[in-house]
Structure 1
Amino acid sequence: MSALPRVAAFLDGYTGTGALSSSSAKLALRDQRLIRRFSTKVAAGAPTPTDDHLDDDCDLTDLLVRNPETTFIYTVAGDSMDLAGILDGDNVLVDRSLSPSSGDIVLAVLAGGEHTIKRLTVRNGVPELHPESSNPENKPLVAEGGELSLWGVVSAVVRRMR
């Protein structure tokens, strides 16, 4: 497969001012990251017959990211959110454009500059960060007097299975 069409599309995005059009650059790389998608849903319970019909290509960025300019990927370290399905080594997508609400899983920055992912609860106007963990040593964090900043909302979890 020739790289010439991708290179041509990339160069077409050059504006002459030293800047590249991000949409042209994305189009140039788009065909490298597409995954074939089946239109048939797969049962997670009792097996069901499928028609093995390939529907279209799927770009995981389009599937998982609502706001590309404000979404970042973090690798999780620790077990404080394992009962929420977020495990050590997982990658989480954090969207800064989403307004954190009580009940969301958020990325917060503590006063010392540490980053943490926890479930946000707001009680009497005070944000609390709650772990959802099988480890009893993980305790809630209660913010008083600007001890933390809510940096973004976790919008997706990505995990390799093998």
Structure 2
Amino acid sequence: MLADLPIGEPVPFCPGSLGEGLDLQAALIPNPVCTFYMRASGNGMRQHGINDGDLVVIDRSVEPCSGHVVVVAHQGSFLLRPLLRQGEQWLLEPVRPGEAAIPLDLEVFDRSGLFGVVVHAVHHLG
């Protein structure tokens, strides 16, 4: 069931107020053919809402924009980084002190290694 849940003010429960059923697949994965999952490792993306052990939902059909968190194949492994545009240059933002930004060529997908855009991060609160 899906219901609005206001934060701060108590709301009385009314039978039937929950509306229609909730389809998590439809809500989280609008394009299943282009969607992949990975588990985040490390705490470098906490400021972007992604914690160590989170399940990230990656959609390859989303057009990357500055500010998106993306997954990129880089030097034989995957990187999870914020994407930044400075003028005509695309960069992967550093997530650790002393780390350099990594330039990307998004006009040439195969050379850039862009795997997809993170559209959701699922994490436990306990």
Deviation at 1:56, TM superposition (A): 2.3
Secondary structure of the residue that 1:66 maps to in structure 2? coil
Distance 1:138 1:105, change over 3 A: farther
| Aligned equivalent of 1:60, options 9, 16, 24 | 24
Unaligned runs of 5+ in 1: 1-36
Q: Secondary structure at the match of 2:38?
A: strand
Structure with the higher fraction of residues in helix conformation:
1
Calculate the TM-score normalised by the size of structure 2.
Answer: 0.81
Asked if the contact 2:92–2:104 (Cα under 8 Å) also holds between the matched residues in 1, the reply is no
Rg larger for: 1
The alignment's C-alpha RMSD in Å is 2.3
- In structure 2, the partner of 1:51 is 14
Structure 2 unmatched ranges of 5 or more: none
Give the percent of matched residue pairs that are identical in Structure 1 and Structure 2: 29
Classify the secondary structure of the residue corresponding to 2:19. strand
Q: Which has the higher contact order (CA 8 A, sep 6+)?
A: 2
CA distance in 1 between counterparts of 2:104 and 2:61 reads 24
What's 1:99 paired with? 63
Give the 3 Å change call, closer, same or farther, for CA 87–65 of structure 1 in structure 2: same
| TM-score normalized with structure 1 length | 0.65
Give the letter aligned to residue 77 of structure 1. Answer: S
